[in-house]
A and B are shown apart, each in its own frame.
Chain A
Amino acid sequence: MPVQGKNKVSGKTKLEIAVYAAVCLAILALPLVLHDAFLLNKYARYLVLGILAVSLSLSWGYAGILNLGQATTFGLGSYCMAMALKLKTIPIHTGADGLPDFMVWNNVPELPWFWKPFYSMTFGVAAGIVVPMLFAALLGWFMFRGRVTGVYAAITTLAAMVVVQLLIIDQQAYTGGFNGITDLAQFDVAGFTFDAYSSSSYYLVAICLTVSLFLALAVTKSKTGLIVQAIRDQEDRVRFFGYDVALYQIFIFSVSAAIAGLAGMLYTIVMEFASPTFLGVPLSLSVVIWVAVGGRQSLLGAMLGALVVTGTQGALSESETFLDSWTLIMGLLFVLVVLFLPKGIAGAVEKLAGKFGHRRAAPVPPPQLQPQRTEAVANTRHAESLS
């Protein structure tokens, strides 16, 4: 690529990068003031869900693909990590000949072929990203080549997730079934162990969050990211410029899946188990809520949305006063956001910043011709994107 030196980054982008960096630094600095191992573990868990929200923002907010099965790729990543960590416990949680305990209980004679590569932790980590990516690429290939969009794409992703979840539950002998994969070793790299209840795991998650955020930001700021947003706005228009729309959709869908897979692996490290509920409908729909609350067209907003909602949820469900009513309160919160902040918290912040910032630019000219029509189109578009 020829690099054009001058004016490559606009002022707005610079500000955005600064805000992202400030938030990431604040997150990274937390263990300096917080030493409670239990809380660090809890916050690390929230941050992992934040990464998951970033991945959905990429596909829903930027590409307009509402993935109701975002947890599929999250769960696949989680299982890859769990398989590798399970094999590291040999010989403690295994039978005499080195089989994981649940396989022994299920009378599996020897380790199945697809488990064997997971003896290598490097393979496990690579698989935790590549497997979700390939899954998304395959599903995307069928959907986007077949021009499945909107609600239909959402339903397809949801159905695919249910299938994968059923498969995992059904193949108990190889996957641990309903129980998932438990009693895992702790993740370690070159002799350094990441204890789930310590600042080391928190830092691991926070660094992965920072990397995912900036990686996703770079994608959205590239021309490819712009084209993806254009596809969201007017698919046909993009097609008739000579861009292969389906390929772009498959690409962004797979990148989103890779980030979700990374989040899944971290979740296993922090939670110390993998469970079929990680690929469940409740989690998947929760991600949609976090992203909607935070603002789906802002990666940082989506991430903060996850932190705010899961944090509030955690606080409410742990307090005795709201023990019975916290789900209602969460539901109300979601309804209010959808009604009054259609672009989520990020949209509201942007609006406020626009009001208080001294923008001397001429006011935006009102649409002069056929204003009703433009409005109607905008409304349908909004309805579509919500559906």
Chain B
Amino acid sequence: MNPAPQSQLLIDRAQVSFGGFIAISDLTLGVGQGELRCLIGPNGAGKTTALDVICGKTKLSAGEVRFRDKPIHRLSEHSIARAGIGRKFQVPSVFRELSVRDNLYIGRSGQPGILANLFSFGQSGEKEEIERLAALVGLQDELETPAAFLSHGQTQWLEIALILAQNPLLILMDEPTAGMTQQETKKTAELFCRLRGKHTLIVVEHDMGFVRDIAQTISVMHQGKMLAEGTIAEIEANQAVRDAYLGSGGIGHA
């Protein structure tokens, strides 16, 4: 379970406690550049907390997080984002009162300063990129629609497109297919497989069919700790994982 030395992201013996309750203890996780890592585990295993720790939403009580060999766990959220980490939330989180186009324009956050943005009007120079992203997630006909009117699946996709607009090196996805139809889930899997390599992805998922479609390496968490790590076959064969999470059915049938 020792992380490879070339890890782009390294969580090193991390501990998080919420007023005495230990959500994560002694968690170590390394993810290499361009890798697509699935993070699975039963409810309360600390998967979302692990993502929160990476993006700065939750602060560590011990241990450290390193990104491209620099410690980031003491940085503010926006500094972590600027370092190249994007986060998709479990409950789809978009700007409901703004149009899909404006949503994507805000996602293009390469220039986060106030003054520069004060003199940017009408998606200056970003129009094509915004339309390309909308087409990528099938929202090209909804560009002027306020995000509040999108269906649940479309909202999920919009948030995924927002992250792609941000174009981070590392993308954290928290249950990206929750509430999606099977068809939509399949399309999402295809999209993720295309992103692999260009971006590093960490995906928390409960949908084992989806995990089977996209996963290279799977990390299994249980009670705030790393339980196992390996390929689908290795994880399926792992007795501890079967006991804690998968049951006897294995991945894809659980």
Residues of A within 8 A of B (CB): 1-4, 7-10, 13, 219, 221-224, 226-227, 229-230, 232-234, 236-245, 247-248, 251, 361, 364-370, 374, 378, 381
Q: Which of B65-73, B82-90, B188-196, B214-222 contacts A (4 or more CB under 8 A)?
A: B82-90
CB atoms of B95 and A230 under 8 A apart:
yes
CA distance A245 to B29 in the complex (A): 30
Besides the known contacts A234-B93, A243-B112, 16 further A-B residue pairs in the complex with CB atoms under 8 A apart: A1-B116, A4-B122, A223-B118, A223-B121, A224-B118, A224-B120, A232-B97, A237-B89, A237-B93, A241-B166, A243-B78, A364-B145, A365-B150, A367-B150, A367-B151, A370-B152
CA distance A361 to B103 in the complex (A): 20
A237 partner residues in chain B, CB cutoff 8 A? 89, 93-95, 162
**Cross-interface CB contact of A243 among B109, B120, B124, cutoff 8 Å:** B109
CA distance A8 to B114 in the complex (A): 20
CB atoms of B114 and A229 under 8 A apart:
no
A247 partner residues in chain B, CB cutoff 8 A? 114
CB atoms of A364 and B149 under 8 A apart:
yes
B94 partner residues in chain A, CB cutoff 8 A? 234, 237
B150 partner residues in chain A, CB cutoff 8 A? 365, 367
A-B contacts, 26 of them at CB < 8 A, read A4-B124, A223-B120, A223-B121, A224-B120, A226-B106, A229-B95, A229-B97, A229-B98, A233-B97, A234-B94, A234-B96, A236-B89, A237-B93, A240-B55, A240-B57, A241-B81, A241-B106, A241-B112, A241-B166, A242-B78, A243-B109, A364-B145, A368-B151, A368-B152, A374-B148, A378-B96
CA distance A237 to B145 in the complex (A): 19
Contacts A233-B96, A242-B112, A369-B153 hold; do A7 and B106 have CB atoms under 8 A apart? no
**Cross-interface CB contact of A230 among B98, B119, B122, B145, cutoff 8 Å:** B98
Size bracket of the B interface: 35 or more
Give the Cβ gap from B113 to chain A, nearest Cβ, in Å: 9
B116 partner residues in chain A, CB cutoff 8 A? 1
Q: Is B34 an interface residue (CB 8 A)?
A: no
Contacts A245-B78, A364-B149 hold; do A9 and B121 have CB atoms under 8 A apart? yes
List the B residue with the shortest CB-CB distance to A237: B93
Give the Cβ gap from B89 to chain A, nearest Cβ, in Å: 7
Give the Cβ gap from A351 to chain B, nearest Cβ, in Å: 14
A221 partner residues in chain B, CB cutoff 8 A? 121
Give the Cβ gap from A253 to chain B, nearest Cβ, in Å: 12
Q: Is B3 an interface residue (CB 8 A)?
A: no
Q: Is B117 an interface residue (CB 8 A)?
A: yes
CB atoms of B112 and A223 under 8 A apart:
no
Give the Cβ gap from A258 to chain B, nearest Cβ, in Å: 14
Q: Is B105 an interface residue (CB 8 A)?
A: yes
CB atoms of B81 and A239 under 8 A apart:
yes
Q: Is B179 an interface residue (CB 8 A)?
A: yes
Contacts A364-B149, A369-B153 hold; do A244 and B78 have CB atoms under 8 A apart? yes
List the B residue with the shortest CB-CB distance to A245: B78
Q: Is B26 an interface residue (CB 8 A)?
A: no
CA distance A3 to B118 in the complex (A): 13
Give the Cβ gap from B141 to chain A, nearest Cβ, in Å: 8
CA distance A238 to B117 in the complex (A): 14
Give the Cβ gap from B149 to chain A, nearest Cβ, in Å: 5
CB atoms of A248 and B114 under 8 A apart:
yes
Give the Cβ gap from A137 to chain B, nearest Cβ, in Å: 13
Q: Is B63 an interface residue (CB 8 A)?
A: no
**Cross-interface CB contact of B117 among A222, A240, A245, cutoff 8 Å:** A222
